[in-house]
Amino acid sequence: MKVAGRSRCSTFKNMSASRKAKQKNHAPVFAALGDETRLTLVRRLANGEPQSISQLTEGTELTRQAVTKHLRVLEGVGIVNSKPSGREKLFEFNAHPLNELRDYLDLVSSQWDDALSRLKAFVED
Amino acid sequence: MKVAGRSRCSTFKNMSASRKAKQKNHAPVFAALGDETRLTLVRRLANGEPQSISQLTEGTELTRQAVTKHLRVLEGVGIVNSKPSGREKLFEFNAHPLNELRDYLDLVSSQWDDALSRLKAFVED
DNA sequence: TTAACTAGCAACCTCCAGGTTGCATATCAT
DNA sequence: ATGATATGCAACCTGGAGGTTGCTAGTTAA
């Protein structure tokens, strides 16, 4: 059973295809995750099936409205999607933005590795 | 020359060593990256040698004080370190927190994969 | 057909992140 | 010694994030 194994070679200069004009705005996505409540919601949705606003409000110490606002923030950057189902509105996790963040962090780390290499080479020279 | 190759198997139930009591607060780190100015500073520092506040202020449209505050935020979560050097204060990148974020994103993604697997198994049942 | 449940909208409040300015202080170059 | 440079500190301002409450409206179950 293939489980969508993620293996990446981050120190790769020639990032041709995937990294085309991907100068995306990652800051808003980071910001969306920069809140404990929102992180909890994300973990919760990434852990199972879609849930309604009322369901997601349970376990929180917040109002439904507050949770709604948080969900809107998450939806605004694509971390969750919503679909109406009867009288409720179900939110489901979407892994794509988080994967992009992961790739971005890899990119920055690889830049750092390269910088260290250059520095080391310079010193050894 | 070994370049600290990063290869991970994220869908791994038995995360023994590294994931001990690592219930860390990731939200503040995400929040620190959730600002375009700060992201730019990080990229800049991850791209080369330590730089002073004045240097980092160049290229920005902000005041030195504003940049200072941003740097303090980044330092607060460990993304950068600072060391005084004469009359200036040099900031250097520290990859560790970003690596932890990457691992965390991997963890959430793997939870999502598992959830999908369970759902699939349930449907096929 | 009601009563209970789920969600949206709008107004409002509070606090702090992000930014500025002004002044003080340490260090470097000449 | 002195002027230029680099930073720190404190006060201040403003907008928006995060939260609440009250009311309205659609959907479901009895």
Kindly report, residue by residue over A18-58, the tens digit of the pLDDT. 444 356 799 999 999 999 999 999 999 999 899 999 999 99
Q: Closest partner residue to A113 among B4, B102, B119, by Cβ?
A: B4
Closest-lying nucleotide for B37 based on CA to C1': C18
Report the 10 Å Cβ neighbour count for A74. 26
> Looking at per-residue confidence, does B120 or A60 come out higher?
A60
Alpha-carbon distances of A102 from A30, A109, B104, B107, rounded to whole Å: 11, 11, 9, 11
Query: Average of pLDDT values for B1-28?
Result: 52
Give the pLDDT score at A125. 60
Q: Closest partner residue to A26 among B39, B111, B113, by Cβ?
A: B39
How do residues A70-123 score in pLDDT, each as one tens digit? 999 999 999 999 999 999 999 999 999 999 999 999 999 999 999 988 877 766
Range in A24-33, B14-23, B36-45 the model is least confident about = B14-23
Q: Are B50 and B14 in contact (CB under 8 A)?
A: no
For residue A83, what are the contacts with CB-CB under 8 A and spacing of at least 6?
A50, A89, A90, A92
Q: Sorting pLDDT into bands at 50, 70 and 90, what band is B15?
A: very low
Chosen for mutation from A7, A11, A29, A30 (greatest number of chain B CBs closer than 10 Å) is A30
Give the pLDDT score at A51. 98
Q: Which residue of A has its CA nearest to B34?
A: A31
Q: Mark out the alpha helices in B1-125 (DSSP H runs).
A: 27-33, 36-46, 53-57, 64-76, 96-124
List of domains in chain B: 27-124 (1.10.10.10)
Token pair recorded at residue B58: 């160049």
pLDDT > 90 in chain B, percent: 70
3-state class (DSSP) for residue B43: helix
CA-wise closest residue to A102 among B16, B76, B112, B23: B112
Give the pLDDT score at A24. 78
Alpha-carbon distances of A88 from A85, A115, B61, B64, B121, rounded to whole Å: 5, 51, 46, 49, 26
For residue A97, what are the contacts with CB-CB under 8 A and spacing of at least 6?
A29, A77, A78, A79
What is the residue whose two structure tokens read 């929102």?
A38
* Chain A to chain B Cβ contacts (< 8 Å): 128
- The values of phi and psi at residue A13, to 5°, are -65, -40
Give the pLDDT score at B9. 42
B48·A11 Cβ contact <8 A: no
For residue A69, what are the contacts with CB-CB under 8 A and spacing of at least 6?
none
B112·A34 Cβ contact <8 A: no
